[in-house]
A and B are shown apart, each in its own frame.
Chain A
Amino acid sequence: DAGVTQSPTHLIKTRGQQVTLRCSPKSGHDTVSWYQQALGQGPQFIFQYYEEEERQRGNFPDRFSGHQFPNYSSELNVNALLLGDSALYLCASSLDPAYGYTFGSGTRLTVV
């Protein structure tokens, strides 16, 4: 049973560009959350999707947007990239978040 799959694994972008990160949740999971993990820090919540709607959002600017598709897969889009957006972006899925999430291995984004 495949867990959470994220693509790409690594990405290098230039300041001002736009990026799209992709996530396929674990089979049967319908809730997808995205987290940003800066180097040496704990993950920070970006937003959560359920039934194709954004259900919660953390303290991130509107440059961060997302989407969930009918098959529960999800995308994270970041516009007008800043150097400070360099981080590991983690996708997590769940059927019941009270029991915890299954995480992917993340996408390492470097903005130069």
Chain B
Amino acid sequence: AQTVTQSQPEMSVQEAETVTLSCTYDTSENNYYLFWYKQPPSRQMILVIRQEAYKQQNATENRFSVNFQKAAKSFSLKISDSQLGDTAMYFCALSNFGNEKLTFGTGTRLTIIP
């Protein structure tokens, strides 16, 4: 079985600051994918960033980057220069190679303060 844990139910940060959301996971597989999804009040899950476990280089998408520590099974999301539009629930998710269901954490509610 695979599990994903997000230990920060809520976070808030001032606009333009940097914030890091934490995620740990457990899987017995060696090949897997990790994702961060954003869910604004509109309810639609939006893919923020993706990491392949066999790649050591941390993924980056504009203001969003990850710190992937495979041995520690840790996958944190850093948001730089935070914007009001970043306010949302953020979910960490895992899927094993060949088993494509997503296992989600319980989410972190991020509020960007003007």
Contacts and interface: CB of A to CB of B under 8 A. Distances in A.
B3 to A, nearest CB: 11
Interface stretch (B11-19, B43-51, B67-75): B43-51
A90 B39 CA distance: 12
Nearest to B52: A98
Contacts of A24: none
A101 B102 contact: yes
B38 to A, nearest CB: 11
A92 B93 CA distance: 14
| B interface: dominant SS | strand
Contact of A33 (B43, B50, B91, B101): B101
Interface string A87-112: 01010101001111111111010000
B42 A97 contact: no
Given A42-B107, A104-B44, A105-B42, A48 B50 contact: no
Contacts of A94: 100
Interface residues of B, number: 25
B45 A42 contact: no
Nearest to A58: B101
A42 B106 contact: yes
Most B CB within 10 A of own CB, among A56, A99, A101, A102: A101
Contacts of B107: 41-42
Given A42-B107, A98-B33, A103 B45 contact: yes
A43 B43 contact: no
Nearest to B32: A98
Interface of B: 4, 33, 35, 37, 42-47, 50, 52, 91, 93, 95, 97, 99-107
18 contacts: A33-B100, A41-B107, A42-B93, A42-B105, A45-B102, A45-B103, A56-B99, A56-B100, A58-B101, A92-B45, A98-B33, A98-B52, A98-B100, A100-B47, A101-B47, A103-B46, A105-B44, A106-B43
